[in-house]
Chains A and B, each alone.
Chain A
Amino acid sequence: MDVTVRLYSVFRLKYEDYNSTTGIRLEIEVGSSIYDLLEKVEIEPKNVSIVRVNELIVKDFNLSLDNGDNVEIFPFYGGG
């Protein structure tokens, strides 16, 4: 199944041709969790502040993803 992954801040920097309109289309195994997806995009969970699935904040990264989900991954922030 496919999900759309949108990366923010420093997570986006390693993808030079990242398209902010489309994000990244990724094929994952059925039943994959957010943890599995983080492993696939090589992001350590401890560096993640927020994950949103279809615009809702998800706190439990064991959540199984569905085909067509839109997953947004944010690092920690500071500044202002």
Chain B
Amino acid sequence: MANILRVNMASKSVKVEDQKEEYQLFGGRNFIAKIMNDEVNPKCDPLGPENKLIISTGLLAGTTAPTSGRISVGGKSPLTGTVKEANAGGTAAQMLARLGLKAIIVEGMPEGNEWYILKVSADGAELLPGDKYAGMNNYELCSALQSDFGDKIGTISIGAAGERVYKNSTVQISDMSGRPSRAAARGGVGAIMGSKKLKAIVLEPAGKAEIEYADKEKFTGAVKAYIQGIKDNPLSGQALPALGTAVLVNGVNALGALPTRNFSSGNFEEAEKISGETLVTMQAERGGKSGHICQTGCPIGCSNIYNDENGNYLTSGFEFETIALVGSNCGISSLDTIAKIDRLCDDFGLDTMETGATIAVCMEAGKLSFGDEKGTLALIQEMIDGTDFGRVLGQGTAYVGKELGVNRIPVVKGQSIAGYDPRALKGTGVTYATSPMGADHTCGNSIGNPTVDPYKKEGQVELSTNLQVGMATFDTLGLCIFSGFCTEDPANVGHLLEMVAARFGGEWSVEKLFGLGVQSLIMEKSFNEKAGFTAEDNRLPGFMYSEPLPPTNNVFDLSDDELSQAIPF
């Protein structure tokens, strides 16, 4: 059974604990919710010693289940004040599983200003002095760690944004090329790590993961069938491998839901220029790559490598959400500029989405014009340089909006809305309003659902509830949510059930499987309630109820009573 590594930053001690029997069916997102409920005071200061940084693999980590290498990073969010789980791909989860670990829990805070790194190898774990790495951003940091510990390591790290406890800072995970391009991006999890003076976790390669199976042969058969299901689905088998998540730009624009100029329109007249279709054609000419995978064994490959105009590597894992929030939402139509910002954010350790939403709010306030690329780069440089205003920008969209006296601030529970305006995609709007994580599309995105009219409120609460349960389940299994599109075919739900049953044994029904997600949501809501959140926090920003969104002129019209029916557990 996998172990839990507990790291106390106050006493500088590391301890490998046998996993409690009761934790066996907790992984990823619901493991974080469980530990937060069992061990952390909900009223605690997110950047104080009582908060914990929890890094957890999912229930299927270390197995051959496709996309089972997601890593969850969480704690109490300094951005939202809620419980937070942000997950990423990359190599960390599979490497932790090979090291015999299910999770790392980092607690306490050291006295003094010294920085530390945590090295984990097959021989054990140790905290090492990290001052020599302090001040480095993620790309330089990864290179330095690779030259000190070998180029086969995996890394979990923060840039200077996390060191400075910016509330929009990320934890970056290395990809298969050792680049820190995968982000556990949302909610300021980088600041939790920074508050504990932990600059990086170095994972040394180990042998094969030792996984106990109830029925190995059955597991292998179910994996094979589920992979086929992923490949046969038009989204995970065709659109995402060919065009990446940026495929959404044109589709969301056609729906009239593409955030444009601080959520003042759902149509961006230059959408085609920043679309997945344009991106792929351009990168084919520059020697970039589509269909790139972020973890071993992924049958989808929605990632990419983005080369600059000279054909040199600029960034990777360049996503729709970044393009929507930094691009159309700021009125920026240059993919090269957006990609440059993506690189700066990965390197310095900023959430690209929160960053884009923050800059757009500055544009709304008249600090710079919509579409001002140079001005945008200058503001990001201020964050990197740590100027007074740069540090303000690092506190996120809600804080900056209030500071600048902006009325139209697109956040829920202090976290910026994602790349879908909820007035023209109301199911996702219900998720933004009611998710325990704050505005988070990955908690239940209704885009592309053929059963419910995205502009009408009917059916949205039920749709969002089902999606929120499904996403929380996938985040608990540690599977990429894109591997779940194929579950629209009940046969593939069956293969998923076979996989979980063959791994853990016992009888597994659909109710038991998705009960993992329900359980996660219950624990998250309970933590938030104790932290002081009420139903009044489950609302969208005021302007979205009153200001029609061109060109469809929809407003968000679900009442507080209707929203209170979502995730009713």
Contact = CB atoms under 8 A, between A and B. Distances in A.
B321 A77 contact: no
Contact of A8 (B234, B245, B250, B281): B250
A79 to B, nearest CB: 4
A10 B448 CA distance: 14
B266 to A, nearest CB: 11
Interface in B203-258: 234-236, 238-240, 242-243, 245, 247-248, 250-252, 254-256
A74 to B, nearest CB: 5
Contacts of B418: 80
B127 interface: no
A9 B277 contact: yes
A50 B424 CA distance: 14
B320 interface: yes
B429 to A, nearest CB: 14
Contacts of B485: 78
Interface in A12-53: 12-13, 20, 47, 49-50, 52
Nearest to B552: A57
Given A9-B243, A57-B254, A75-B239, A80 B441 contact: yes
Nearest to B453: A59
A2 interface: no
Interface residues of A, number: 20
A10 B239 contact: yes
Contacts of B240: 78-79
A75 B242 CA distance: 14
B272 interface: yes
Contacts of A80: 245, 248, 320-321, 418-420, 441-442, 445, 447
Contacts of B276: 9
B302 interface: yes
B278 A20 contact: yes
B239 A20 contact: no
A69 B281 CA distance: 26
A79 B237 CA distance: 12
A10 B513 CA distance: 32
Given A10-B238, A50-B251, A52-B254, A76 B450 contact: yes
B482 interface: yes
Nearest to B252: A77
A66 interface: no
B482 A79 contact: yes
Nearest to A76: B448
Interface string A50-79: 101001010000000000000010111111
A59 B234 CA distance: 22
A74 B250 CA distance: 8
Interface string B264-285: 0000000010001110010000
A71 to B, nearest CB: 12
Contacts of B302: 79
B238 A77 contact: no
Nearest to B420: A80
A79 B277 contact: no
B450 A49 contact: yes
A9 B419 contact: no
Contacts of A47: 234
A8 B234 CA distance: 14
Contacts of B277: 8-9, 12, 20
Contacts of B441: 80
Interface in B414-472: 418-420, 441-442, 445, 447-448, 450
Nearest to B482: A79
Contacts of A78: 235-236, 239-240, 445, 447-448, 482, 485
A9 to B, nearest CB: 5
A76 B320 contact: no
Nearest to B251: A77
A23 to B, nearest CB: 10
Given A8-B277, A12-B277, A20-B278, A76 B235 contact: yes
A74 B236 CA distance: 17
A55 B267 CA distance: 10
A60 to B, nearest CB: 14
A72 B254 contact: yes
A36 B551 CA distance: 27
A74 B254 contact: yes
A50 B234 contact: no
Contacts of A76: 234-235, 448, 450
Contacts of B255: 50
Contacts of B252: 77
Contacts of A12: 277
Contact of B272 (A9, A20, A50, A55): A20
B252 to A, nearest CB: 7
Contact of B247 (A50, A52, A79): A79
Given A9-B243, A49-B448, A79 B250 contact: no
16 contacts: A8-B254, A9-B239, A10-B238, A10-B239, A20-B281, A50-B251, A55-B551, A57-B552, A76-B450, A77-B235, A77-B251, A78-B236, A78-B445, A78-B482, A79-B239, A80-B442
Given A9-B250, A9-B277, A77-B248, 12 more contacts: A9-B239, A10-B238, A10-B242, A20-B272, A49-B448, A57-B256, A57-B552, A75-B251, A76-B235, A78-B235, A78-B448, A80-B442
Interface of B: 234-236, 238-240, 242-243, 245, 247-248, 250-252, 254-256, 272, 276-278, 281, 302, 320-321, 418-420, 441-442, 445, 447-448, 450, 482, 485, 551-552
**5 smallest beta-carbon distances between A and B, as pairs:** A77-B251, A77-B448, A78-B235, A79-B245, A78-B448
